[in-house]
Copies of this chain bind each other. A is one copy, B any other.
Amino acid sequence: MTTKEFGVRDGEKTVELPEKPDAGVYFIGHIRTPWKERKDCPKNARESDAVCTVELDERYRDGLKDVATCSHVVLLYWMDKAPRNLVLQVPRHYGEPRGTFALRSPARPNPIAMSVVKLLKIEGGTLSVVGLDCLDGTPLLDIKPYFASTDSVPDAVVGWHKRD
C-alpha cells in the first residue's frame, strides 16, 4: 500500500482491514494515458478530451468480438496507488470530511474505478477511448458495454456536491 501521496489528514478516519482478501482479480491489460503522476491527472473525466488507449492482453482478445458496435463502454480498473483503509476522507478540493462511499476517490476498500468512456476504435487488442482521468499504466479489470437503458440516469443528483 502506497500512502506517500495520501497521508491521513485532519478529519480523516481509517479502519483496520481484514487480514486476507476474499477473492482475487486478474489484471487483463493496461491503460495508457498522458498522465504520469497523480497531480497531472484531470480532476474528472469530463475535464479532458485526451484520447487514451486500453491495451487488452492477448489472452483475452477474442472477448472483444462485437465490442466495436458499442458507442460507449464501461471500464473497470485498479487504482493500486491508493490506501484502502480510509472511511472518512478530506478531498483536497472540498476541504471537509466525506464518507468514502460518497466519493469517487481512489482511496477505498476495493480500489476499483469505474469510468464511462466513448469508444473511438478498436485495432487488435487496443481500444482508443475518450473519458479517462487515470494514471498511465493503470491495470485494467474489465470492459463492459454501456446500456443507456440501465446505466443512464440524466437527472441523478449528488446532493453534497457543490455545483461549479
Whether B24 contacts A150 by the Cβ 8 Å rule is no
**Across the two chains, which residue of chain B brings its CB closest to A89?**
B63
Whether A157 contacts B65 by the Cβ 8 Å rule is no
Interface residues of A in 129-164 (CB under 8 A from B): 131, 139, 141-161
Whether B59 contacts A110 by the Cβ 8 Å rule is no
Question: Using a Cβ–Cβ cut-off of 8 Å, how many residues does chain A contribute to the interface with B?
Answer: 78
Whether B110 contacts A28 by the Cβ 8 Å rule is yes
In the assembly, what is the distance between CA of A95 and CA of B77, in Å? 30
User: Measured between C-beta atoms, what is the minimum distance from A59 to chain B in Å?
Assistant: 5
Whether A151 contacts B149 by the Cβ 8 Å rule is no
Query: With A24-B25, A26-B17, A104-B147 in contact, is A116–B153 under 8 Å at CB?
Result: yes
User: Measured between C-beta atoms, what is the minimum distance from A153 to chain B in Å?
Assistant: 5
In the assembly, what is the distance between CA of A114 and CA of B116, in Å? 12
From A2-10, A33-41, A68-76, give the one contacting chain B.
A68-76
Residue of A70, A114, A118, A153 with highest tally of chain B CB at under 10 A? A153
Whether A66 contacts B102 by the Cβ 8 Å rule is yes
Interface residues of A in 7-32 (CB under 8 A from B): 13, 15-18, 20-28
Subset of 10 A-B contacts with CB under 8 Å: A61-B87, A63-B99, A63-B109, A66-B98, A67-B102, A72-B157, A112-B141, A118-B153, A145-B158, A154-B154
